[in-house]
Amino acid sequence: MIKIGDNYYQTPCYIYDIKQLIQNVNAFRSLLGEDITILYATMANPRIEILKELNNLDIGTFVNSIEHLKNSLKANIPEKKINFAGSGHSKALIDEISDLNISYCADSLSQLKLINSDSNLDLGIRINVGTLLMNGFDPAPRLGINIEDISKAIEINNKISILHVYLGTNLEESDIYKKAIISLLDLAKKYPNINTIDLGGGLAFSPNDKNFAKRILLEIKQIWDNNKHSNISLIVEPGRALVRSAAKFYVKVEDVKINNGKQYIVVNSSGTWYPRKIIHDANDHFVSIIGRKDFANTQPSVIVGSTTFSKDFLAELKFPIVEIGDVIEFKYAGAYCEAMHLDFLGIDKPNIYFLNQS
Ligand SMILES: Cc1ncc(COP(=O)(O)O)c(C=O)c1O
């Protein structure tokens, strides 16, 4: 059990704080201004409770699956504020969404051909970033239509009005956004039906640098203000940067072992429920022990799950010696954590709690 305010919460648990989510959205809004549309990328966390709060704040979504599309609709997000993209979509999937007034960004010329001429979709194309930036950099070479093929795309469907990209993950500098804005605006000049450019997400979450978010968002706004055309709108699709600080994950220490000079801290959950270490080998965990201020005398440690899977790790770090019964907090657990959980070890889902829900 842990106590926050007057309430007790049972570990293992994720505790989402809606007040923090609202603060993050408001910060993005005020830094980017009303001119730039923000769509929340649901792959970071598709929880309906989050989507409902975002809808209250007038934020739409970027989705890449039917399930996340349905979540967005269930949260009452207006169709006009939902953008759907992906790859390898079947004709059946495209027909399923065809009557909706959402936007849909096709990943290839053959995907575009699957869209009926009478569909209600606002159409866009995902642009292959390697061919757009031509600097040898492409975070996802498998995705998108080469810029040489845009004319062919428009011949297939002349309703295409959106150019959509994703420029990379955990981006800390605005240069790449600048290059993309300028290149996409050049393309928009060439193809007069284009009325929207969409930069995707990818903004880093950098809590150690308090000015970071402010700096990069202000720079993006300034680049846009210096280059924008009156007939083109700009969309950004942050996932991680909006929700990562809006949840914490808590686990209880059930056992402690020292093997080969390392402290193994065995907790009452599994890396399958906090999979940043298993999937990304991430080491950005911001972990602490509830009620413990003294973090001196840290030891090489691994926080591990309660299974026999040899890589059932939540974090590998230098950590003070803990005791059975201690509660460990993972501070920034709102993005790509619960949403990315793995199913294979059969460990119970953690409790889910919300603070400051409207
Ligand atoms: C097109 C697009 N937009 C937004 C996102 C969200 O990215 P992030 O959570 O890094 O902001 C992704 C992630 O893959 C994406 O592909």
Per-residue pLDDT of the chain in tens (358 residues, 90 and over written 9): 899 888 999 999 999 999 999 999 999 999 999 999 999 999 999 999 999 999 999 999 999 999 999 999 999 999 999 999 999 999 999 999 999 999 999 999 999 999 999 999 999 999 999 999 987 788 889 999 999 999 999 999 999 999 999 999 989 889 999 999 999 999 999 999 999 999 999 998 766 556 667 788 999 999 999 999 889 999 999 999 999 999 999 999 999 999 999 999 999 999 999 999 999 999 887 999 999 988 888 999 999 999 999 999 999 999 999 999 999 999 999 999 999 999 999 999 999 999 998 8
Q: How far is the CA of 340 from the centre of ligand 1 (A)?
A: 14
**Cα gap 89→86, rounded to integer Å:** 7
**Cα gap 217→285, rounded to integer Å:** 24
**Cα gap 248→330, rounded to integer Å:** 6
Q: What amino acid is encoded at 32 in this protein?
A: L
First to last CA, the chain: 25
Residue spans in the chain of domains classed CATH 2.40.37.10? 2-13+245-355
Q: How far is the CA of 6 from the centre of ligand 1 (A)?
A: 37
Angle at 260 between CA 259 and CA 266, to 5 degrees: 30
User: 12 in ligand 1 pocket by Cβ < 6 Å?
Assistant: no
Residue spans in the chain of domains classed CATH 3.20.20.10? 78-238
User: 130 in ligand 1 pocket by Cβ < 6 Å?
Assistant: no
User: 166 in ligand 1 pocket by Cβ < 6 Å?
Assistant: yes
Q: Closest ligand 1 atom to the C-alpha of 126? A: 1
CATH number, domain 78-238: 3.20.20.10
For the stretch 30-54, what's the b/e string if a residue is b when 16 or more beta carbons lie within 10 angstroms of its beta carbon?
ebbeeebbbbbbbbbbbbebbbbbb
**Cα gap 330→81, rounded to integer Å:** 32
Protein residue with least CA distance to atom 1, ligand 1: 200
Neighbours of 140 (CB within 10 A): 17
User: 205 in ligand 1 pocket by Cβ < 6 Å?
Assistant: no
Protein residue with least CA distance to atom 12, ligand 1: 201
Structure confidence by residue, pLDDT tens digits, 159-171: 999 999 999 998 9
1.10.645.10, 3.40.50.300, 2.40.37.10, 1.10.3720.10: which CATH number matches 2-13+245-355? 2.40.37.10
Q: What amino acid is encoded at 294 in this protein?
A: D
Structure confidence by residue, pLDDT tens digits, 211-269: 667 788 999 999 999 999 889 999 999 999 999 999 999 999 999 999 999 999 999 99
Neighbours of 348 (CB within 10 A): 10
Specify the residue for token string 């598709």.
Answer: 46
User: 62 in ligand 1 pocket by Cβ < 6 Å?
Assistant: yes
**In a mutational test of the pocket of ligand 1, which residue from 39, 42, 61, 62 has the highest number of ligand atoms less than 8 Å from its CB?**
62
User: 251 in ligand 1 pocket by Cβ < 6 Å?
Assistant: no
pTM of the model: 0.96
Under 8 Å between Cβ of 216 and 174: yes
Angle at 36 between CA 30 and CA 38, to 5 degrees: 80
3-state secondary structure 176-207: HHHHHHHHHHHHHHHCCCCCEEECCCCECCCC
**Cα gap 320→296, rounded to integer Å:** 7
